[in-house]
Amino acid sequence: MRQWRLHPLMMLLPVLAAALAGRLLPVWTLSLATVAASNALVALGIVILARTGNVSFGQGLFFAAGGYGVALVANAWGITDAAAQMLIGAACGGLLGLLIGPLIARYSGIFFGMLTLALSMVFYGALVKSTALGGSDGFNVGRPTLFGIVFVDPREADFMLYAISVVTTGIAGIAAAILFRSEFGLVSLAVRENNLRVEYLGLSANRVIVANFAIAAAFAGASGAFALMAQRHIDPQFAYWTTSGEFVFIAVLAGYQTVMAVYVASLALELVRSFSNLYLPNTWQLVLGLFLLAVILFLPRGIGSLWAGKPRRSGAPAMAEPVPERGGAP
């Protein structure tokens, strides 16, 4: 039925190649690509969650939770290892997601979005007013290390950060592709189509949503850790609604068809942003807005529709990648 597909694990090779290619890239692209990869990780979480039919407008909450968690741990116990920080960030985000998930899994559609937005803004409000965490100015953290290696040369440090963020998001993407084909991934789609019928089949729709929500939250938390390592500074802006909006922006830009599109969209957004920042410093938001409108208008199913096929049922909402039939994939 479908064209021949690679097993997702085969994608490990291009991911490693992309990480090593960072050696050849000029420095400014390294930090840009790091930010793009880390944003893509949050957007990937949104795509995963969107497969259950819910879009979160508050991923900034977990993004900030991961960032602040890592920053506090780093300053309190001196954990500067980049890989450990990434795991701490993912744990902070994921745990918070598990905590909040059951509360909001009952809601759907616009209420789900509004509630996640509200929670992230509660967090933002609390952060701005907490003097212990630096209030609206935030605070700084030290340079990350990796496996005991201290990077003195900033170029080396940038490359390390680039490599680890690309590898992490790459592995997350591969995991997502495997997840989408699993039974769990298919049930998630079923929840989007009709959660009551899923319940009739003896499955808990809420539990499926909570699991997806926690995955998305863990991804956002890990991404927060990367953002922290890249900026070596954290402030409440991490949790502000425009930050969350940008992640949804990337997810919609990518479309919900392929995992790859999320990276392309994130990179495209970062490129548009930094070039318009460079050449049109006063109107970069305008350029960004026009870019978004153009993509929504001319690529209704996102950037992914440039190379991924059309969904099989034309009547279905273009939210998810076409699901390969059992045994249909090689």
Nearer to other proteins, 7 or 197 (CB): 197
- Closest among 167, 214, 159 to 37, alpha carbons compared: 167
Q: Nearest distance from residue 116's CB to other proteins, in Å? A: 10
Q: Transcribe 250-264 into DSSP letters.
A: HHHHH-SS-HHHHHH
Matching residue, tokens 């402030």: 235
Nearer to other proteins, 55 or 208 (CB): 55
The letter for the amino acid at 212 is N
Q: Nearest distance from residue 325's CB to other proteins, in Å? A: 26
Q: Nearest distance from residue 172's CB to other proteins, in Å? A: 22
Using rule CB under 8 A, residue 277 touches other proteins: no
- How far apart (Å, rounded) are the C-alpha atoms in residues 313 and 319? 12
Using rule CB under 8 A, residue 238 touches other proteins: no
Using rule CB under 8 A, residue 217 touches other proteins: no
Q: Nearest distance from residue 105's CB to other proteins, in Å? A: 12
Q: Nearest distance from residue 114's CB to other proteins, in Å? A: 5
Using rule CB under 8 A, residue 282 touches other proteins: yes
DSSP 294: H
Q: Would you give the binding string for other proteins spanning residues 124-153, x where CB under 8 A is met?
A: xxx-xx------------------------
Judged by CB under 8 A, the residue of 6, 10, 20, 122 near other proteins is 122
> Are residues 246 and 39 in contact, defined by beta-carbon separation less than 8 angstroms?
yes
Using rule CB under 8 A, residue 242 touches other proteins: yes
Q: Quick one: angle between helices 284-298 and 241-254, nearest 10?
A: 40
**Torsion over CA: 65, 66, 70, 71 (sign):** negative
Residue 233, phi then psi, degrees to nearest 5: -155, 145
- Could you tell me where the DSSP H helices lie in the chain? 12-21, 27-50, 59-77, 82-104, 109-129, 154-181, 183-193, 195-200, 205-231, 241-254, 259-279, 284-298
The structure tokens listed for 4 are 């021949």
Using rule CB under 8 A, residue 14 touches other proteins: no
Site stretch for other proteins (CB under 8 A), options 64-72, 75-83, 114-122, 210-218: 114-122
Q: Would you give the binding string for other proteins spanning residues 75-104, x where CB under 8 A is met?
A: ----------------------------x-
Using rule CB under 8 A, residue 68 touches other proteins: no
The structure tokens listed for 298 are 């001319």
Residues that bind other proteins (CB under 8 A): 55, 103, 106-107, 109-111, 113-115, 117-119, 121-122, 124-126, 128-129, 194, 196-197, 241-242, 245, 248-249, 252, 282-286, 288-290, 292-293, 296-297, 300, 317-319
